């Protein structure tokens, strides 16, 4: 277990993907407080740990005790993400969590991909 200490405040936190995502729990979100969390990793490994990770965000943010708006930025489309969003939408609003979705597409050379713009 990590030693207790004050929380760390950052603008952006990139959440680990694949097997490392299992290390992201309620304690992670209690201690690493970001304005934006990026969730990436469109793979079958991430799908298995995505719901516990998202629930940990809600539980960890609940413990902050201060009103800071948080943006969650998924970089992939997922049925698990959609279900979590629908089932916990009211709780997200209570905690000041916004899930950023984007229908924007960026075209570069011979490639197009979904994108969103984040400003601080």
Mean pLDDT, the chain, rounded, equals: 85
Percent share of the chain, pLDDT over 90? 48
Contact between 102 and 114 (Cβ < 8 Å): yes
| Coil/strand/helix, residue 107 | strand
What is the pLDDT at residue 43? 61
- Residue 77 phi/psi, 5° resolution? -95, 135
List, in sequence order, every residue forming a beta bridge with 34; answer none if it has no partner.
10
Q: pLDDT, tens digit, for every residue of 12-68?
A: 999 886 667 778 899 999 999 999 999 876 666 667 788 899 999 999 999 998 889
The pTM of this model reads 0.82
Q: pLDDT higher for 49 or 1?
A: 49
What is the pLDDT at residue 120? 64
List, in sequence order, every residue forming a beta bridge with 72; answer none if it has no partner.
37, 99
User: What are the structural domain ranges in the chain?
Assistant: 6-112
Contacts of residue 113, defined as CB under 8 A and 6 or more positions apart, other chains included, come to: 105, 106
**Angle CA(31)–CA(49)–CA(119) in degrees, nearest 5?**
55
| Coil/strand/helix, residue 115 | coil
Q: What's the average model confidence in pLDDT over 90-107?
A: 86
């Amino acid at each position: 277990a990590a030693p207790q200490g004050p929380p760390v405040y950052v603008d952006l936190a990139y959440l680990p993907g694949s097997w490392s995502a299992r290390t992201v729990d309620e304690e992670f979100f209690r201690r690493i407080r970001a304005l934006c969390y990026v969730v990436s990793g469109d793979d079958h490994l991430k799908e298995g740990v995505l719901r516990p990770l998202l629930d940990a965000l809600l539980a960890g943010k609940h413990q902050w005790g201060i009103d800071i708006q948080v943006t969650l930025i998924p970089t992939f489309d997922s049925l698990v993400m959609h279900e979590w969003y629908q089932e916990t939408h009211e709780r997200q609003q209570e905690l000041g969590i916004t899930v950023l979705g984007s229908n924007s597409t960026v075209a570069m050379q011979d490639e197009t991909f979904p994108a969103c713009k984040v400003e601080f």
